[in-house]
Amino acid sequence: MEFSAKQIADFLQGKVVGDESITVNRFAKIEEGEPGSLSFLANPKYTPHIYTTKSSVVLVNSSFEPEREVKATLIKVEDAYAAFARLLDLYSQYQKQKEGIHETAVVPASASLGEHVYLGEYVVLGEGVRLGNNVKIYPNTYIADHSVIGDNTIVYSGVNIYEDTRIGSDCIIHSGTVIGGDGFGFAPRPDGSFDKIAQIGNVVIEDKVEIGSNCSIDRATIGSTIIRQGAKLDNLLQIAHNVEIGEHTVIAAQTGISGSTKVGKNCMIGGQVGIVGHIQIADGVKIQAQSGVGRTIKTPGVAIQGSPAFDYSQFNRSFVIFKNLEKLEKRIRELEAKLKSEKSLS
């Protein structure tokens, strides 16, 4: 789609400085702009680029005053970064305006579909599946029996959703993710082998949750594995059976959370964190990347790091010491030798 500078300014309630009729049809970084593209300037360190950019239109803060000629048409807004984000969101929503059921999709008579649903090529729905309004299921996705997906949720290609899964409204699930696979439950036998424990629970994902690509969220042994409202999960996560993730908690890539652990709301968990099973993480806890958490964290809002993880400030003070252990050891050996020499002379 193509828009003029005036149309964009009207939408953002901004002011055009330059050619109101010039049009753009794509976005670009200010330093990589080409004719027909729209860029923005918010960070002062990128200011030199506004004098050389080839972008046709640039969003700038209303306080910006150029020091020399700017060839691009400017749109002055209160907050250039926020305005650019609004345009990106609008463009993203436009791209997702898909509707209709492809002829290769498998939809049993027992399935229930809301209005304006999109089912791409080779989507397979199980018996009794219920999809809300404006749900979009991209190609090669499988949704098993009696699963429910709420309004406006997007499920990208290659996702597998096992039976009885409950997914809320306004969620996004990226490609390759598996929701509702069996939890890791096995009972040891006297001969050293293992018997599989049936996993008869399900997964519940509340509203406004986003789950990255290639995540595994296991079904509960009994009851539910729960991802609470507003949680954001990065790519390549392992969420084990009966785990509960609190509201608006964010978790970075390659983190693994073992069975039956409860993570509070508004937590921030860095990449490659490992958390053992059957513990609790209080609300607002911040866990630094590559930490290993082996015990319950009871104090809300603390920051921890290390493996085993402990207070972030203490970790930093300790790091100053243990990174110099080789030097400290050498000094101790020298002091011991000196003391031994003094004792032999006395």
pLDDT digits (tens, 9 = 90+) for 101-153: 999 999 999 999 999 999 999 999 999 999 999 999 999 999 999 999 999 99
Active site residues: 241
Greater confidence (308 vs 346) lies with: 308
Are 165 and 288 in the same domain? yes
Largest CA distance in the chain: 99
Cis peptide before 308 (omega within 30 of 0): yes
Q: What's the pLDDT at 310? A: 65
Is residue 5 pLDDT above 90, yes or no?
yes
**Percent residues over pLDDT 90 in the chain:** 84
Q: What is the mean predicted confidence (pLDDT) over 239-264? A: 98
Q: What's the pLDDT at 346? A: 63
Which of 252, 292, 258 has the alpha carbon at shortest distance from 244? 258
Q: Using CA of residue 15, residue 17, residue 18, residue 24, what is the dihedral sign? A: negative
Would you say 262 and 278 are in contact if contact means Cβ atoms under 8 Å apart? no
Choosing from 95, 118, 145, the residue where a domain stops is 95
Q: What is the mean predicted confidence (pLDDT) over 235-243? A: 98
Strands 73-77, 15-17: pairing is antiparallel
Are 109 and 197 in the same domain? yes
Are 36 and 109 in the same domain? no
Gap between the Cα atoms of 188 and 194, Å rounded: 4
What confidence category does residue 312 fall into, taking pLDDT thresholds of 50, 70 and 90?
low
Are 141 and 257 in the same domain? yes
Is residue 184 pLDDT above 90, yes or no?
yes
Greater confidence (306 vs 315) lies with: 306
Q: What's the pLDDT at 333? A: 86
Residue ranges making up the domain that contains 12: 3-95
Sheet holding 244-245, edge to edge: 112-113, 130-131, 148-149, 166-167, 202-205, 224-227, 244-245, 262-263, 280-281
Note whether residue 7 is domain-resident. yes
Note whether residue 209 is domain-resident. yes
Would you say 89 and 110 are in contact if contact means Cβ atoms under 8 Å apart? no
Are 176 and 303 in the same domain? yes
Q: What's the pLDDT at 23? A: 96
Are 67 and 143 in the same domain? no
Note whether residue 10 is domain-resident. yes
Note whether residue 326 is domain-resident. no
Q: What is the mean predicted confidence (pLDDT) over 268-285? A: 97
Greater confidence (256 vs 309) lies with: 256
Residue-wise DSSP of 264-304 = -TT-EE-TT-EE-SS-EE-TT-EE-TT-EE-S-B-STT-EE
Gap between the Cα atoms of 286 and 293, Å rounded: 11
Are 83 and 123 in the same domain? no
Note whether residue 336 is domain-resident. no
Note whether residue 81 is domain-resident. yes
Note whether residue 346 is domain-resident. no
Q: What's the pLDDT at 31? A: 95
Q: What's the pLDDT at 320? A: 67
Q: How many residues does the chain have?
A: 346
Gap between the Cα atoms of 26 and 88, Å rounded: 10
CATH number for the domain including 113?
2.160.10.10
Q: What share of the chain is helix, strand, coil (3-state, %, to 5)?
A: 20, 30, 50
Gap between the Cα atoms of 25 and 35, Å rounded: 10
What confidence category does residue 157 fall into, taking pLDDT thresholds of 50, 70 and 90?
very high
Q: What is the mean predicted confidence (pLDDT) over 315-343? A: 77
Q: What is the mean predicted confidence (pLDDT) over 291-302? A: 96
Mean pLDDT of the chain: 94
Question: In total, how many domains does the chain have?
Answer: 2
For the beta carbon of residue 168, count every other beta carbon within 10 angstroms: 21
Are 259 and 304 in the same domain? yes
Q: What's the pLDDT at 326? A: 82
Choosing from 95, 122, 147, the residue where a domain stops is 95
Which of 227, 119, 104 has the alpha carbon at shortest distance from 165? 227
Are 84 and 108 in the same domain? no
Q: CB neighbours of 341 closer than 8 A, spacing ≥ 6?
A: none
Q: What's the pLDDT at 130? A: 98
Note whether residue 130 is domain-resident. yes
Is residue 196 pLDDT above 80, yes or no?
yes
Is residue 199 pLDDT above 70, yes or no?
yes
Are 226 and 305 in the same domain? yes
Angle at 70 between CA 68 and CA 74, to 5 degrees: 130
Which of 305, 338, 333, 330 has the alpha carbon at shortest distance from 319? 305
Strands 23-24, 3-4: pairing is antiparallel
Q: What's the pLDDT at 69? A: 94
Are 22 and 119 in the same domain? no
Choosing from 95, 116, 140, the residue where a domain stops is 95
What confidence category does residue 298 fall into, taking pLDDT thresholds of 50, 70 and 90?
very high
CATH number for the domain including 10?
3.40.1390.10
Are 172 and 138 in the same domain? yes
Lowest mean pLDDT among 6-10, 96-100, 110-114, 122-126: 96-100
